[in-house]
C-alpha cells in the first residue's frame, strides 16, 4: 500500500455503503491524519463500511484506513495511547497523594514489644 501525505488536505466520505457515503458528501479535514483519526475514533463503526478517504488523487477504503491508523508512520497520538498514559499518570498521582495509612493497633503493639 502506498502511504498518503498525512499532512495533506483530505476529504472523508462515511456511510453504511459507498452510495450512502457519496450521497451524504465529504467532510473536509486540514490533514489526512485528522480525517483518519476521526473515522476510527469518533465516527460510528457502521459508517466505516462505505468509508473512503481522498488525499489528492489517491483513494483509500476502510481496510486502508485501519492499516494507516495502525501504521508506525501515523503522526497523531491514538485514543488508546492517550487513555493509557492518562491512566498511568492518574495512578502515579493517586499514589503520591494517598494519605499515609495509620498503623493498626496490632502493628503498634508489635512495634512496642
Spatial separation of the C-alpha atoms in residues 43 and 14, rounded to whole Å = 8
Residue of higher predicted confidence among 6 and 81: 6
pLDDT tens track for 6-45: 999 999 999 988 888 889 999 999 999 999 999 999 998 8
Instruction: State the chain's mean pLDDT as an integer.
Output: 80
CA nearest neighbour of 11 among 61, 56, 78: 56
The answer, yes or no, to whether residue 56 has pLDDT greater than 60, is yes
Listing DSSP states for 11-76 in one string gives EEE-SSSHHHHHHH-PEEESSHHHHHHHHHHTS-GGGGTT-EEEETTEEE-HHHHHHHHHSTT--S
* Conformation bin of residue 56: beta by default, left when phi > 0, alpha when psi is -120 to 50: left
- Would you list the domain boundaries of the chain? 10-97
* Per-residue model confidence (pLDDT) at position 98: 54
Spatial separation of the C-alpha atoms in residues 65 and 29, rounded to whole Å = 15
* Per-residue model confidence (pLDDT) at position 101: 56
* Per-residue model confidence (pLDDT) at position 87: 60
* b/e map 71-94, b = 16+ CB within 10 Å: eeebeeeeeeeeeeeeeeeeeeee
Mean of the pLDDT values across residues 49-55?
93
* Per-residue model confidence (pLDDT) at position 54: 95
Confidence band for 64, pLDDT divided at 50, 70 and 90 = very high
* Conformation bin of residue 25: beta by default, left when phi > 0, alpha when psi is -120 to 50: left
Amino acid at each position: 500500500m502506498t502511504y498518503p501525505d498525512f499532512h495533506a488536505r483530505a476529504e472523508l466520505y462515511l456511510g453504511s455503503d459507498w452510495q450512502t457515503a457519496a450521497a451524504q458528501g465529504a467532510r473536509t479535514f486540514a490533514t489526512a491524519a485528522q480525517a483518519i483519526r476521526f473515522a476510527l475514533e469518533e465516527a460510528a463503526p457502521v459508517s466505516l463500511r462505505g468509508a473512503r478517504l481522498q488525499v489528492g488523487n489517491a483513494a483509500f477504503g476502510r481496510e486502508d484506513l485501519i492499516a494507516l491508523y495502525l501504521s508506525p508512520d501515523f503522526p497523531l497520538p491514538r485514543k488508546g495511547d492517550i487513555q493509557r498514559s492518562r491512566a498511568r499518570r492518574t495512578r502515579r498521582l493517586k499514589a503520591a497523594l494517598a494519605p499515609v495509612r495509620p498503623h493498626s493497633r496490632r502493628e503498634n503493639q508489635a512495634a512496642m514489644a
